[in-house]
Structure 1
Amino acid sequence: MTLATTPARGSLLVVPLLAGGLVMIALGVYGRAHTPTGFAIGIAGFSGALAMKAWLTTGAAVLAIVQVLSALSMWGRLGVTIPPAVHRWSGRLAFLLTIPVAFHCLYALGLQYDVLRVMIHSLLGCFFYGVFTAKMLALPRKGLPGWTFPLLGGAVFVALVGLWLTSSLWFFTTFGVKV
């Protein structure tokens, strides 16, 4: 690969990154413009909305660790072979676990910036879905630079861990471990 081909390969990322940026902005604008309802929807047997969100986010974070390990295996960096299906399905399940959490956050709470922890959490949520969108749109593209998926996947992981730290960890240390 020469330097002359690098910009052309990098340009394949323009559409996925623009789409991801639009998702981030759209979620932020909706979260700010929408009048929060203040109540939970469908907490599915949990004691409350915060417990539901804390446990679903914890499940997604555990699956994100599986994502990192299986990605390292696919790239030959782990020393053991984990089937690619493990990576695909752990990612799908992790994403599905985030949907009710995000829905509740946007619908019931909106994007908030009064408390630093909550502001960081709100911005990380928008970033998570934006970078996830970019990664998913980049996957079918051939000829991308080798750093594309480690960078995008790493950003998704860091955002999810940040979401867990600013929500689930806060919940478990503030209210205790309860369902």
Structure 2
Amino acid sequence: MADHAAARTTRSMTVPLVAFVAGAVVAVLLGVLGRVHDPTLSGTTDLGFRTVIEMKVVLATVIGALVVLQLLSALWLYGHLGRRPPSWLGTAHRVSGGLALLLTVFVGYSCLWALGLEVGTLPHGEPVPLRAVVHGVLGCAVFGAVVVKIVAVRARRAPGWFLPVAGGLLFTLLLVVVLTSAAWYVAARGWPGPAGY
């Protein structure tokens, strides 16, 4: 009986371990791409904003709001907010999560393609600000956490702690990335104005 329980525990731990390794590989590969790629605005869009940066600030703010909604709806769905959740909340949680993921991929692509991953010193010898390093490294880690979260949502034989840990990791990384980008930009320069002004 004890051998069967140990085998089941080992098998169930395989899923999170493989997911975390796959996520780490994705994060490292994106970091390498960001370092070796020559940043260019060619192949990006500003969606009608004055600059790609301003477009990313607005979309990152939307992502931040969606991430907070994800946390609140997950807490409600799992019974941590006291009242019984409405029947539509599960669908709203999945739709807002899908939209947050889509926007994150779009903004992440724009970051890596237009800016790359800056660490160390800039081409003219000035050191890269710590905020930019943290933002870039954790931005790559977000996509590793996305891989982990997708596996956690789909895994049937994973331990019960895996989904909340995967969701919490993704939530935390996205929140820090938004704070080191959009929140920093708005605090330093104000909210982006409409194009043409």
Partner of 2:147: 133
For 1:178 and 1:115, how far apart are their aligned partners in 2? Answer: 22
When normalised by structure 2's length, the TM-score is: 0.84
Instruction: State the 1:138 CA deviation.
Output: 2.7
State which of 21, 24, 27 in structure 1 corresponds to 2:27. 24
Moved more, 103-112 or 7-16: 7-16
For 2:36 and 2:66, how far apart are their aligned partners in 1? Answer: 32
**Contiguous gaps of at least 5 residues in structure 1:** none
Pairing of 1:90-105 with structure 2 (within 5 A): 90-105=96-111
Partner of 2:182: 168
Identity %: 38
**Contiguous gaps of at least 5 residues in structure 2:** 120-127
> Which residue identity lines up with residue 116 of structure 2 in the other structure?
G
Deviation per residue, 1:118-174 (Å, 9 max, x gap): 000001111111011111023221121111111110110111110111000111011
Deviation per residue, 1:67-102 (Å, 9 max, x gap): 111111121111230521111111001111112211
When normalised by structure 1's length, the TM-score is: 0.92
CA RMSD of aligned residues (A): 1.7
> Which residue identity lines up with residue 25 of structure 1 in the other structure?
V
Partner of 1:143: 157
Contact kept in structure 2, 1:50 and 1:171, CA below 8 Å: no
For 1:34 and 1:173, how far apart are their aligned partners in 2? Answer: 29
> Which residue identity lines up with residue 177 of structure 1 in the other structure?
W
Pairing of 1:144-159 with structure 2 (within 5 A): 144-159=158-173
Partner of 1:116: 130
Moved more, 13-22 or 93-102: 13-22
For 1:15 and 1:111, how far apart are their aligned partners in 2? Answer: 26
Partner of 2:71: 68
Larger Rg: 2
Aligned residues: 178
> Which residue identity lines up with residue 27 of structure 1 in the other structure?
L
